[in-house]
Amino acid sequence: MKYLLLPIIVSLIVQAVKVILDLIKKRFSWHRTLGYGGMPSSHSALVCSLAAMVYLLDGLNVAFFISAVLAIVVMRDAIGLRGYLTMHGKVLNRLIKDLPDEKEYKYPVLEETIAHSFLQILIGGILGVVLTLLFF
């Protein structure tokens, strides 16, 4: 059970760091506490924690390489795929704003901060590994 909980706890700690950084920058909102994007990436922390834990338990084996590939896919999508979603959200929001007022209200405002930057991914991944090493 501890092996299931450790990556989740690491992810929650990194998410708490993100909230604290938002408080310091005076950008806090309840929506952002559970939202996507921001510094550091808790998704990267989660998958890197998982890969680090598998390595610590069993070394370089099939399970480690599977968890490492999973980490790469998650982190790549956080930049790439979610980057496209961010761009689409911004464009669609601009198009909706250009509609006449009586039609504009019919469409929701889309999220525009879905993607992570490379630095946010890197810091999240490093925190995931470091915290796993500390708590393991």
pLDDT of residue 61: 94
Nearest by Cα to 126 from 79, 57, 71: 71
Residue with tokens 């604290």: 20
Q: Structural domain boundaries of the chain?
A: 2-69+119-135
Q: What is the pTM of this model?
A: 0.82
pLDDT of residue 32: 67
pLDDT of residue 68: 96
For residues 4 and 34, which has the higher predicted lDDT (pLDDT)?
4
pLDDT of residue 133: 95
Local confidence band at 10 (pLDDT 50, 70, 90 cut-offs): very high
What count of other Cβ atoms lies within 10 Å of the Cβ of residue 80?
A: 11
DSSP H helix total and E strand total for the chain? 7, 0
pLDDT tens track for 83-116: 888 888 888 888 888 888 888 778 888 877 777 8
pLDDT tens track for 48-87: 999 999 999 999 999 999 999 999 999 999 888 888 888 8
Are 44 and 78 in contact by the 8 Å Cβ rule? The answer is yes
What is residue 45's three-state secondary structure?
helix
Residue 31 scores a pLDDT above 80: no
Average pLDDT for residues 12-39, to the nearest whole number?
Answer: 80
Are 129 and 49 in contact by the 8 Å Cβ rule? The answer is yes
Are 66 and 95 in contact by the 8 Å Cβ rule? The answer is no
pLDDT of residue 88: 84
Local confidence band at 25 (pLDDT 50, 70, 90 cut-offs): confident
Q: What is the largest CA-CA distance in the chain?
A: 61
